[in-house]
Amino acid sequence: MTQAKVAIFCGKGGVGKTTLSLALGLRLAGQGRRVLVVSSHPLAELAIAVSLDGLATHYPVAARNLFVVHIDPKELLKEVVERNFPVEWVARAVLNSSIYQNLIEVAPGLKEFYFLARLQALAERSAEGAPSYEALLWDAPATGHFLSTLGAARNFETFLTGPLAAAGGELRRFYSSMADIAVFPTTTLEEMAIEETWELCDKLAAGYQLRPRAVVANLISPLALAPEQEWAKLPARGEGALGFALDRGALERERIAELKRRLGGPLVGVERIRHYRNDLDALHQIGEALGGLPGWL
């Protein structure tokens, strides 16, 4: 059995987790690696947000190797029921019963628990009939929901006893294994996104012994990472557009310096792209800008 390398893009809503996951997926799949992107968005919703039209024509290698799924915990629970009740009408009766439907809505963490278990299974899945992946990219939900998803495993272990508690412990250990899981907290250089990144890093370290493989600073300006001697040559201020670009550059440089100081680990910058023909072209450019993430795959 092969274990896929797992990368998790997490962080505040709107920082570009989905875009980065797809962009990295496209890049790796284009190199001939089988990649699975697990998106927190239902596929119908994702299709509204990002169009992959033309993938097979423009990136045939990637088209063969890139897989995108959304895991709906309700569907997983349905599978569990169907496995437990091989007689179809009995299974259907259970699924339709209001007891079942209400219980799965209100049981805290139950859906998250089954989600984590499926994600682990996908990372470990053998070649038996189903594809096994070299890389699994989890486009995680926004920070709060991401942490409560991881927390579901811990809560099950802490508050309950019996088989689900044991399974919870096993999941928690899986999601604390730094060897196979690389966490990439993602942020823009806005105050709030950065604050949330630190909160996230602290909670991952405290609750799961997970440290970020690298922090990704997304949507930065060309001035943010320019070498110091180049930056020193620029005028201190300017009019209109130049003034805006310089002000923003200065702010971004302060924040990058602060991020690096506090992080004590690698930081990857991804520039806001300028021109693109369509979504696929944008993803391709972002994938190139993202480059190889340090020490991963």
**Using CA atoms, how far apart are residues 174 and 183, in angstroms rounded to an integer?**
13
Closest approach of Cβ 23 to another protein, in Å? 15
Closest approach of Cβ 70 to another protein, in Å? 12
Which amino acid belongs to residue 10? C
- In the complex with another protein, which residue's Cβ is closer, 15 or 28? 15
- In the complex with another protein, which residue's Cβ is closer, 4 or 286? 286
- In the complex with another protein, which residue's Cβ is closer, 97 or 177? 97
Closest approach of Cβ 187 to another protein, in Å? 10
CA distances from 65 to 36, 47, 83, 217 (A): 8, 19, 30, 27
Residue with tokens 């250990």: 173
Closest approach of Cβ 223 to another protein, in Å? 5
Closest approach of Cβ 115 to another protein, in Å? 12
Residues 6+ apart with CB under 8 A from 170: none
**Using CA atoms, how far apart are residues 92 and 105, in angstroms rounded to an integer?**
18
DSSP secondary structure of 204-244? HHHHH---BS-EEEEEE-TTTT--HHHHHTS-S--SHHHHH
- Report the phi/psi class of residue 136: left, alpha or beta, with left for phi > 0 and alpha for psi in -120 to 50: beta
Closest approach of Cβ 3 to another protein, in Å? 27
The alpha carbon of residue 12 and the mean position of all alpha carbons in its chain are separated, in whole angstroms, by 11
Cross-strand partners of 216:
186, 268
- In the complex with another protein, which residue's Cβ is closer, 94 or 293? 94
**Using CA atoms, how far apart are residues 76 and 109, in angstroms rounded to an integer?**
14
**Element at 32 (helix H, strand E):** none
- In the complex with another protein, which residue's Cβ is closer, 31 or 278? 278
Closest approach of Cβ 81 to another protein, in Å? 6
- In the complex with another protein, which residue's Cβ is closer, 60 or 222? 222
The pair of three-digit structure tokens given for residue 255, joined into one six-digit string: 């924040």
- In the complex with another protein, which residue's Cβ is closer, 29 or 194? 194
